[in-house]
Structure 1
Amino acid sequence: MPVEKSQRLLNLIIGLSSTRHRLTRDQIRDTIEGYEPLPHGASEEEVRKAEASFERMFERDKKELRDLGVPVETVEDPVHGDEIGYRIRPAEAAMPALDLTAAELAVLGIATDYWRGAVLGSDATQAVMKLASSAEHGPRVELPFAALPAVATDAFATLVEAVADRQAVRFEYSSVSSGAGTRTVEPWRVVLRAGVAYVIGFDRDREAPRTFRVQRIGGPVTPVGPAVEEVPEEIPLGALAASADVRTARVALRPESGHALRRRGSAAGVDGGWDLYDVEYAHGDAVVAEVLALAGGARIVAPAELAQSVAKAATAALEVERG
């Protein structure tokens, strides 16, 4: 199975940093995973092509590492000067210690949660844990969307990767207007609006640009091959640019909770031990999910249909927990 370029570069860094003296090109090709060793019993022509392919790949990788600031040294053999090797001095390649604030660590934590299902999800989680353990403790920092549930994170991560790799994807999608069905989309951009994730792209089935809410994607997002349509210079945001269908919900919040809702809303008085805020929204289910994520720290006063949705979802969750 072919090794991804990023993994091959990482293997090369580890190999050149671990050697006591140097690694020659032949040693790199034979020991670093990601490079193909010379085939056994190959003809002279096959050997020549394999060597040329390795040379091109290794030269590109070496240049990319140096462009990234990784000091790949060229080392000549003290006896045979024509036999060149390579190494990386670990002390010179080490990054300086990162001095992150509590707010910066919190942002990284939210980003890591969104990338939980991606290729580098486990590496991202470990990296944030290491950074957090070495940082100085400070006061807790509330972020605008820190209370939002991390829904559909696997889909979100796969879509971001598909945008970067120019891959078409297929997924199950449900909407009020068109119901449930399978969509094949060439994603152009993934955006966040008020804590809600959307993917904008070319819908192959409808042969037109469309916007999809990531929260309404059911099941896995599956890559189905390279994208064909060109990405437009100006990606149409449609209703995301300025939604005309904006309504207001009155939300009751416990003291020191619901900071995201407080920042988006306007104070509307108090009700016993609750602070009242009027919060504008375009999608009712997003507000419901946000209130549910606060686990009793918020409730919807009006409109009644949103309050009923919260009660219904909470009751269903309790029934599931009870089995």
Structure 2
Amino acid sequence: MTLQYKITHVFCPLQLPDGDDHSHSNDLALSEALCHSASSYYRHLDNPIKGHWKCVEKLLHNLYEATRLEQLEETLVSSQLESMAVGDVVAYLIRAQNAAVVFRRGAEETIAESFEVSPTVAAVMSSCDKLVCSYPGPAIAVPNVVFGDAVFRLELAHFLCEMNKDNLDAAPTTRKAGTTVSETRDTVHPRYITELLTGILRAVGRPADVQRINKRIGDDVVWRNSHLPWRRSSLWLIIRVVLQTTLARNGLGVDVYKAFVLFFMNGLAGEAVGHGMSDDVLHWISAKLSRRLMKLGESAPNWLSAYRAVGVYKHSKAVV
């Protein structure tokens, strides 16, 4: 079931589930798979790049550690923030607030970024194509003198952990039988992170001018005879956004990001073949991988092109 979840949310095939398939074990499996893939990818890199990639490995490992518990734990968050060195990045999914928080350690300042992780149902359903979203949202630079204070870190960790589990009044509402009720099938407004936390940090920092990216978000809202609709994984979105922005800022660029995503997806494709998934799913996977390799073009590493060529042959043979 965890493999089915990873394939569904990473490749987004035509046949999607009729309702919500999120679970803690599924998030943990996705995070763990990315950690293993990042470690394997490291062995293929040239020496000048390996130093920068260590930051990515640490980022994914910290995210996996935070995901291991069903709720964020204050001691863990505070410890991760304290152990950040210059160039390190940590990210957290604040699920109850439909938001992500990213911290980037610099030589003199730590930049705190936040953004919404799941667009509203109206935004997704009204779009004829993929949504184009800009990431991250607001960014605040906090001096390391302040960020290094133990009391500040503990209060920040406490705030994030409480926001991760508290259902506040940011949920949308609807009218049923003449009564206003919460619309649990829609996403909540991330204001308590993107606005409240941003305002708190601005009191001790300043607005930061950071490099932003635009992403075409492939999401959907599928609902039939279920309590909640199917929505694409928030964790998968956070990982892609943080990886792309981090690699763009440390000089590796978007091509390294795209190559790693292709490497990760190819590993999932091998698992799908090994577990005998249906032919239509394998065909969809193969088409997705081929398109990504084509978009990379000559910037794709030779070893990855050869690795992918073997994969396409195996998948096509399995479909036939």
Does 1 or 2 have the higher relative contact order (CA < 8 Å, sep 6+)? 2
The TM-score normalised by the length of structure 2 is: 0.22
Report the structure, 1 or 2, having the larger helix content: 2
The TM-score normalised by the length of structure 1 is: 0.22
Report the structure, 1 or 2, having the larger strand content: 1
Structure label with greater radius of gyration: 1
